[in-house]
Amino acid sequence: MMNPKMISRNSSSHSEGHSDRILLWRLIMMHGKKMMRIKLTLILTLLLSVLPATASAEGYKIGFVSVVKLIELAPQGEVATKKIEAEFGPRDKAMRKQQEAIQKIEEDLQKNALVMKASQREKKQAEKTKLERRFKRETEEFREDYNLRRNEELKVLQKVVREAINEVGKENKFDLILTESVIYASDRANITELVLKKLRSKK
């Protein structure tokens, strides 16, 4: 007859061994998935690094573009920026004048505080507070309107850039064009300047 203490120890050892095997299996699975991602990354990196000048391999033509650079350098982006500045320039100028008025009152209070009557100081302070509240409110409205307008123009620009990439891809018979999400792209595969040239021809 087995000692109950031995049974308890055996059961505990079996449970611990089972838990260890489960943990080991999970680690193996996680390691396997990680290795698979690494392998895929290496395959893509090697593929892009050995492509010839036209970035083709076994009949497949692959290119890379920097969308960020295209948006930054595209002439359409400069046009959009000037348009927004023209729209918001007058409001910006008016708000600068408000800020100068607040600063002037502040300087007046600091300079003449000792010679001012209490009623004068209170009146100046009330005027300053009123201007500050108005300035804060209009600043928030300005920021919201400006960001909304900028995002509208950015969406239009992104669409123009995508269309240019598609046109270059079709004209040059690319099978695949990658963007910034790729880890590595050789200079041979980079067609950003080619797309930028297309964008400049459209302005």
Instruction: Tell me the pTM.
Output: 0.63
pLDDT for position 16: 46
pLDDT tens, position by position, 16-41: 444 444 444 444 444 444 444 444 45
CA distance 50 to 61: 12
pLDDT for position 112: 85
- Residue spans of the domains in the chain: they are 4-49, 67-202
CA distance 103 to 50: 63
pLDDT for position 58: 59
pLDDT tens, position by position, 6-18: 334 444 444 444 4
Name the CATH architecture for the domain at 67-202.
2-Layer Sandwich (3.30)
CA distance 48 to 65: 13
Average pLDDT over residues 76-90: 95
State which H helix or E strand residue 152 sits in: helix 118-171
